[in-house]
Amino acid sequence: MSNASLDRVHVLLGVGGGIAAYKAAELVRRLRDAGAEVRVVMTENATRFVGAVTFQALSGNPVRSSLWDESAEAAMSHIELARWADEVIIAPASADLIARLAHGFAGDLLSTLVLTTAAPVSVAPAMNQQMWAHPATQANVERLRQRKVRVLGPAAGSQACGETGEGRLLEVDELIAALVAARGPRSLDGLRVLVSAGPTYEDIDPVRFIGNRSSGKMGFAVAAAAAQAGAEVRLIAGPVSLSTPAGVERIDVRSARQMRDAVIAAAADADIFISAAAVGDYRPETTAPTKLKKSGKALALELIQNPDILAEVGQSAQPPFLVGFAAETNDLEHYARGKLERKRLDMIAANQVGEAQGFECGENALLLIWSGGSEQLALADKRVLAQSLVERIAERYRATRPVVVSA
Ligand code: C5P
């Protein structure tokens, strides 16, 4: 499990012009050590202090400093870059840069990004102590604070210019700690989440099988969202062609019985089991060892029922918090409530199938039901929906499970 404090967080690091820019190089390394993905944007002045190549090598990503770089803009537009960011941190932030940000200027790439992003912005000032103490700078910083920009530092001490006072960039450790603290705890920190996803295939003979139309997208999105929320995630995947979400441990299976074995083995040490797989209810009683041939007559397949994996986990002595899915073409709420009780679930996520949602598509809507409440999550991209679902699961989990304080 990656419990790194900034695990998979997209950090956009803005480097301003100032001698402290060299410390930003170390910051990139340490952000990556903490699990973050880092992209660096430098002001023109910053490039006079440290070369872009240094930041490119350390971040593993191209560095940008201009709005007018056509090839960079084609690869990832500044709007996409602003959306990509989960966090923006500007270190060092010069007096000039702070003034421009405080007044909403957008004359260069970095200030444009700050106006364009929805991500929280942190600035770490670094400048001569007189510049820092100047009422103009103090007023600008106050403006930023009022706009909920986090101001990290500066520290006091000896300065590159030979003076002593307030205006030093915070140490890299302190910057990272401040960023982590500002982000706050994630909803599934410290929890182990098991997710099943995709269809199951039940073999008829070596070339034919009974399957279903599940793409696995919803379950994979749930696994990704749970990992982003801080959980240690194990994903039991039926046959799908999807890539494994970052930080998720994946176990591939084919049939319902293989999925059952993998889930039962993993459920014992899971805190939460989210069963998003469309498990085949039936399988052929026997699988022919060689390809079945046409006989000129009708062919009858004897089907027998598969184990109900979720129900079996629900019957264990100390089941994890159980979340089931119910895909229905009709009487959605009625059937979902039945499953909630019958399978002893803590929550069920019900969706209507048959319209332009549910199977084989990128969007879905979910009706969440638990004992004592329900909530409709509106039609949305499955990745967005998965994040909302994971947040609701975290809330219900914390509301119903006692907090165990480890010794
Ligand atoms: O098939 P059904 O509609 O009953 O599925 C509801 C829930 O039960 C789903 O979360 C599904 O993953 C799970 N299930 C299962 N094993 C089965 C059938 C369904 O775990 N054999």
Q: What pLDDT shows up at residue 196? A: 98
Burial class (CB in 10 A: 0-12, 13-18, 19+), 300: exposed
Q: What pLDDT shows up at residue 358? A: 58
Pocket test for ligand 1, best of 212, 279, 341 (most atoms within 8 A of CB): 279
Mean pLDDT of the 232-240 span: 97
Q: What pLDDT shows up at residue 66? A: 93
Give the type of residue at 184: G
Most confident of 5-9, 229-233, 274-278: 274-278
Q: Which CATH architecture has domain 3-183?
A: 3-Layer(aba) Sandwich (3.40)
Pocket test for ligand 1, best of 260, 275, 332, 366 (most atoms within 8 A of CB): 275
Q: What pLDDT shows up at residue 185? A: 86
Mean pLDDT of the 67-91 span: 93
**Domain ranges across the chain:** 3-183, 192-400
Question: Residues with beta carbon inside 6 Å of ligand 1?
Answer: 256, 275, 277, 279, 281, 306, 308-310, 324-326, 339
Token pair of 300, please?
A: 């009858």
pTM above 0.85, yes or no: no
pLDDT digits (tens, 9 = 90+) for 25-58: 999 999 999 999 999 999 999 999 999 999 999 9
Q: What pLDDT shows up at residue 406? A: 53
Half-sphere exposure of 178 (CA within 13 A, CB side): 23
Q: What pLDDT shows up at residue 7? A: 82
**Positive or negative: CA dihedral 230, 236, 238, 244:** positive
Residues 314/345, Cβ–Cβ less than 8 Å: yes
Residues 6 or more apart whose Cβ sits within 8 Å of residue 220:
197, 198, 235, 237, 240, 242, 245
Distance 325 CA to ligand 1 centre (A): 7
Nearest CA to ligand 1 atom 17: 308
pLDDT(235) > 60: yes
* Ligand 1 atom index nearest CA of 335: 3
* Ligand 1 atom index nearest CA of 313: 20
27 by DSSP, 3-state: which? Answer: helix
- Report how far residue 184's alpha carbon sits from residue 120's, in angstroms, rounded to the nearest whole number: 12
Q: What pLDDT shows up at residue 117? A: 96
Token pair of 48, please?
A: 């006079």
The confidence band for 3, taking pLDDT boundaries of 50, 70 and 90, is very low
Mean pLDDT of the 274-293 span: 97
Q: What pLDDT shows up at residue 160? A: 86
Q: Which residue has the higher pLDDT, 406 or 127?
A: 127
Strand ranges for 16-140 from DSSP E:
37-42, 87-93, 121-125
Q: Considering only CA atoms, which of 394, 84, 83 is closest in space to residue 230?
A: 394
Nearest CA to ligand 1 atom 2: 326
- Report how far residue 82's alpha carbon sits from residue 65's, in angstroms, rounded to the nearest whole number: 14
pLDDT(2) > 60: no
Q: What pLDDT shows up at residue 262? A: 98
Token pair of 59, please?
A: 């971040």
Strands 363-370 and 373-381: antiparallel
Residues 379/363, Cβ–Cβ less than 8 Å: yes
* Ligand 1 atom index nearest CA of 256: 21
The confidence band for 404, taking pLDDT boundaries of 50, 70 and 90, is low
Q: What pLDDT shows up at residue 360? A: 65
pLDDT digits (tens, 9 = 90+) for 95-110: 999 999 999 999 999 9
Distance 279 CA to ligand 1 centre (A): 6
Q: What percent of the chain has pLDDT over 90?
A: 83
Please state, rounded to an integer, the average pLDDT across all residues of the chain.
Answer: 93
Q: What percent of the chain has pLDDT over 70?
A: 96
Q: What pLDDT shows up at residue 279? A: 97
Nearest CA to ligand 1 atom 13: 310
Distance 35 CA to ligand 1 centre (A): 35
Q: Annotated active-site positions, please?
A: 161
pLDDT digits (tens, 9 = 90+) for 184-227: 888 999 999 999 999 999 999 999 999 999 999 999 999 999 99
The confidence band for 354, taking pLDDT boundaries of 50, 70 and 90, is confident
pLDDT digits (tens, 9 = 90+) for 318-331: 999 999 999 888 99
pLDDT(1) > 60: no
pLDDT(389) > 50: yes
Nearest CA to ligand 1 atom 3: 326
Distance 289 CA to ligand 1 centre (A): 28
* Ligand 1 atom index nearest CA of 343: 8
Mean pLDDT of the 387-393 span: 96
What CATH number has the domain spanning 192-400? 3.40.50.10300
* Ligand 1 atom index nearest CA of 276: 12
**Helix pair angle (135-146, 95-102), 10° resolution:** 50
Distance 394 CA to ligand 1 centre (A): 21
Pocket test for ligand 1, best of 303, 310, 312, 337 (most atoms within 8 A of CB): 310
